[in-house]
Amino acid sequence: MGQSQSDEETQVELWQIQKLYKKFASECPSGNLHLHEFKKIFGLGTSQLSEEESEYMDSIFRSFDTNQDDAIDFLEYVAAVHLVLRGKLEDRLRWSFKVYDSDGNGLLEKHEVKHIIKIIYAIKKHSGELQGDHLTPEQICNQIFQIVDINQDGQISLEEFIEGAKKDEWVLDHLKLDVKPCVWFNENQSNIIE
């Protein structure tokens, strides 16, 4: 099977990625990208972020900080860029799972799923992107657990997460953390590469 990509996503040219790496090196001469720099690269100053958006960016940053040293080094950065720009659906779902799994135990409890869904819900509501189902974050979380928690143990494993998202479009839409990387990259390349 081929890689599933959104119609909105377009190809990012190699020269653009190379300039992005140059920008990383110039913005982070120490070789480490810290949270405030990470937000700046995405064009988000801390003063303009809502509490939900800031918390969401914090969660994404932590997911890319694989060695948990509160900084993204160049190798972590390259891996993150590759995942976001070129990753297959399953790789993106694994990353999404990692963002949801705040305690890092390899299982998602309801409070973890509901927490991220509340953040995404607040961001979508604030930006006017809220979808037509108008379920509350609690209802969305409960429905996800009904569909995805196959063994009904009150926790979602990585396997249940991936299989549930692949089998049900509604679940996929609510679980996948879609940062629309190519669209964001192309819209913001002047901020990144100049």
pLDDT digits (tens, 9 = 90+) for 125-162: 766 666 565 788 899 999 999 999 999 999 999 999 99
Sorted by where each begins, the domain ranges of the chain are 15-193
Of 87, 120, 89, 115, nearest in space to 101 by CA: 115
CB contact burial 44-80 (16+ within 10 A = b; e otherwise): eeeeebeebbbbbbebbbbbbbeeeeebbbeebbeeb
- CA geometry: angle at 182 spanning 136 and 131, to 5°? 20
Q: Are 59 and 99 in contact (CB under 8 A)?
A: yes
CATH 3.40.50.720 given to domain 15-193: no
Of 120, 178, 114, 108, nearest in space to 143 by CA: 114
Question: Average pLDDT over the chain, rounded to whole?
Answer: 78
Q: Are 45 and 39 in contact (CB under 8 A)?
A: yes
pLDDT confidence of residue 189: 47
More confident residue, 94 or 1: 94
pLDDT confidence of residue 112: 93
Q: What is the pLDDT of residues 38-89, one digit of tens each?
A: 877 665 555 666 777 777 788 888 888 989 899 998 778 878 877 777 778 8
Output helix, strand, coil percentages for the chain, rounded to the nearest 5: 65, 5, 30
Please enumerate in sequence order all residues whose Cβ is within 8 A of that of 46, keeping only pairs 6 or more positions apart, or say none.
36, 39, 54
Question: Looking at 18-125, which runs of residues are DSSP E strands?
Answer: 32-33, 72-73, 107-109
Tell me, what DSSP letter sits at residue 47?
G
Question: Looking at the chain, which runs of residues are DSSP E strands?
Answer: 32-33, 72-73, 107-109, 155-157
Strands 155-157 and 107-109: antiparallel
